[in-house]
């Protein structure tokens, strides 16, 4: 694939697909990390004086509707502040003319348009429409590259020059060695709520990882699959059969596939809840597990301290509430202090390390992609990357 250094941008019309999908609350951007991560690419292009620079991005999942709360107005203001340049918001990406032929522009939420992700033919027509504005296409949105959308997959095929931004290049360079020859012992830590999104990486790393540790609601789903009472704990009951298949495939290597030994339970999910640390066999039908317990933390930390390569995706509990932060915090701190090659991904994991005040610099690589990172590590070809070849 072509890198940024191999392209001349002077006097050219440039489109950059970026990932500006940031947390917003009360009409304010809560964390502008994703916007800042794209700045090196944008600044490198702008230094060469392109004719203009258009940024394509999205916020949330408006599903083809113009949802005011998901507008990129806040993003355009934040980007102007960070770049120190005027940024014009182009509200109608379907218009045949741009409001200007110079400077920096950002198209309004690309997912306001049904054509971005729906029918293949509509996608192609939309991409053809967008391609009329570009001489060069750059993908710097790793987190969106597992989607075969108009702006990530079809558009680059229709632009004469195309390449990857600095952030996308960094992601590929950080994750690729994990699929080839990672240094052992390799420890894979998976949390969060859904097994379905992580089945592929479990299967792909079943023989690559020395230890796979599972926490969060994923952990309670596996416990339920083993016949334990999990009370009112979050559980993917429609994935019990899948969990049982994974457990069966690891039957002869149980010591390598570690699920919670104990959990933190409470009657309700809130800060300062009354909690108890219980062995998994003692969970009552009326209780809910919201975090991994102390013995499980110690076991996971022991594996982390002995690792040379660590991959972490997904929190160990409901870390947003103080009563249930301990598992995720202890795991994050252990990885940060491990000295191992450490890769962290998934929006919640990244949010957790920021929330706990742990510097991202303590990890080898903090991925901007959740689903994209998982699919990459499954060994799957990501549409947004393949379209750049």
- The reply to whether 220 and 307 lie within a common domain is yes
Chosen domain end from 170, 194, 221: 170
Q: How far apart are CA 341 and CA 338, in angstroms?
A: 8
Chosen domain end from 170, 202, 218: 170
Instruction: Tell me what percent of the residues of the chain surpass a pLDDT of 90.
Output: 84
pTM score: 0.89
Q: How far apart are CA 191 and CA 210, in angstroms?
A: 17
Q: Across the chain, what does the average pLDDT equal?
A: 94
Which stretch of 126-135, 180-189, 234-243 has the lowest confidence by average pLDDT? 234-243
Chosen domain end from 116, 149, 170: 170
- The reply to whether 365 and 269 lie within a common domain is yes
CB distance 109 to 59 below 8 Å:
yes
Specify the number of domains making up the chain.
2
Cβ-in-10-Å burial (0-12, 13-18, 19+) of 269 comes to middle
- The reply to whether 61 and 135 lie within a common domain is yes
DSSP 49: -
Q: How far apart are CA 343 and CA 172, in angstroms?
A: 12
What is the pLDDT confidence band of residue 126, given thresholds at 50, 70 and 90?
A: very high
Look at the block and give the residue holding tokens 């998976």. Answer: 190
- The reply to whether 204 and 279 lie within a common domain is yes
Which of the residues are catalytic?
34, 194, 347, 371
**Confidence (pLDDT) at 71:** 97
Tens digits of residue pLDDT in 37-58: 999 999 999 999 999 999 999 9
Cβ-in-10-Å burial (0-12, 13-18, 19+) of 369 comes to buried
In a domain, 388, yes or no: no
- The reply to whether 131 and 223 lie within a common domain is no
Q: How far apart are CA 167 and CA 171, in angstroms?
A: 6
What is the pLDDT confidence band of residue 33, given thresholds at 50, 70 and 90?
A: confident
DSSP 366: E
Residue 115 pLDDT > 90: yes
What average pLDDT does the segment 260-288 reach?
A: 92
What average pLDDT does the segment 369-382 reach?
A: 92
- The reply to whether 217 and 259 lie within a common domain is yes
Residue 116 pLDDT > 90: yes
Name 46's Cβ contacts closer than 8 Å, sequence gap at least 6. 53, 83, 85, 104
What average pLDDT does the segment 276-289 reach?
A: 93
Name 149's Cβ contacts closer than 8 Å, sequence gap at least 6. 116, 117, 123
User: Which residues make beta-bridge pairs with 164?
Assistant: 3, 139
Tens digits of residue pLDDT in 304-363: 999 999 999 999 999 999 999 999 999 999 999 999 999 999 888 988 999 999 999 999
CB distance 208 to 182 below 8 Å:
yes
Range of the domain at 335: 182-377
What is the pLDDT confidence band of residue 194, given thresholds at 50, 70 and 90?
A: confident
Burial of 231-263, coded b for 16+ CB within 10 Å and e otherwise, reads bebbbbeebbebbeebeeeeeeeeeebbbbbbb
What is the pLDDT confidence band of residue 286, given thresholds at 50, 70 and 90?
A: confident
Nearest by Cα to 145 from 378, 379, 373: 373
CB distance 292 to 316 below 8 Å:
yes
In a domain, 389, yes or no: no
- The reply to whether 161 and 209 lie within a common domain is no
In a domain, 33, yes or no: yes
- The reply to whether 291 and 152 lie within a common domain is no
Per-position DSSP letters for 144-199, written without gaps between them:
GTTS--IIIIIHHHHSSEEEE-HHHHHHHHHHHHHHH-PPSSEEEEE-SS-SGGGH
In a domain, 175, yes or no: no
What is the pLDDT confidence band of residue 166, given thresholds at 50, 70 and 90?
A: very high
CATH number of the CATH domain containing 335 = 3.40.50.1260
In a domain, 387, yes or no: no
In a domain, 384, yes or no: no
- The reply to whether 190 and 325 lie within a common domain is yes
- The reply to whether 160 and 247 lie within a common domain is no
Per-position DSSP letters for 295-361, written without gaps between them:
HHHHHHHHHHHT-SEEEEES-SS-TTSGGG-HHHHHHHHHHHTS-SEEEEESHHHHHHHHHTT--GG
Look at the block and give the residue holding tokens 């192609």. Answer: 124
- The reply to whether 12 and 133 lie within a common domain is yes
- The reply to whether 202 and 294 lie within a common domain is yes
């Amino acid at each position: 694939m072509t890198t940024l250094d191999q392209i001349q941008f002077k006097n050219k019309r440039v489109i950059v697909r970026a990932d500006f999908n940031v947390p917003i609350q009360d009409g304010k951007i809560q964390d502008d990390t994703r916007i800042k991560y794209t700045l090196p690419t944008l600044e490198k292009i702008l230094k060469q004086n392109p004719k203009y620079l258009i940024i394509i991005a999205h916020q949330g999942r408006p599903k083809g509707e113009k949802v005011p709360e998901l507008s990129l107005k806040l993003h355009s203001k934040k980007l102007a502040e960070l770049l120190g340049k005027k940024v014009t918001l182009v509200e109608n990406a379907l218009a045949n003319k741009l409001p200007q032929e110079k400077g920096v522009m950002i198209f309004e939420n690309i997912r306001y348009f049904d054509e971005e992700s729906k029918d293949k033919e509509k996608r192609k027509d939309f991409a053809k429409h967008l391609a009329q504005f570009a001489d060069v296409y750059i993908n710097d949105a790793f987190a969106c590259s597992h989607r075969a959308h108009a702006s990530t997959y079809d558009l680059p095929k229709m632009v004469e020059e195309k390449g990857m931004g600095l952030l996308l290049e960094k992601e590929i360079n950080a994750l690729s060695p994990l699929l080839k020859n990672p240094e052992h012992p390799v420890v894979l830590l998976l949390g969060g709520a859904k097994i379905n999104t992580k089945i592929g990486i479990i299967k792909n790393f079943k023989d690559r990882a020395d230890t796979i540790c599972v926490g969060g609601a994923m952990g309670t789903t596996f416990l339920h699959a083993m016949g334990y009472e999990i009370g009112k704990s979050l559980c993917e009951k429609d994935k019990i059969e899948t969990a049982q298949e994974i457990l069966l495939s690891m039957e002869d290597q149980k010591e390598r596939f570690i699920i919670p030994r104990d959990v933190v339970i409470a009657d309700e999910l809130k800060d300062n809840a009354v909690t108890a640390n219980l062995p998994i066999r003692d969970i009552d039908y009326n209780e809910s597990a919201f975090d991994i317990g102390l013995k499980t933390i110690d076991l996971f930390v022991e594996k982390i301290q002995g690792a040379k390569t660590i991959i972490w995706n997904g929190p160990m509990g409901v870390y947003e509430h103080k009563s249930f932060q301990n598992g995720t915090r202890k795991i994050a701190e252990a990885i940060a202090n491990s000295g191992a090659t450490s890769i962290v991904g998934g929006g919640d994991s990244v949010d957790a390390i920021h929330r706990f005040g742990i510097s991202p610099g303590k990890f080898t690589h903090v991925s901007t992609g959740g689903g994209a990172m998982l699919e990459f590590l499954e060994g799957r070809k990501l549409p947004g990357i393949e379209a750049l070849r």
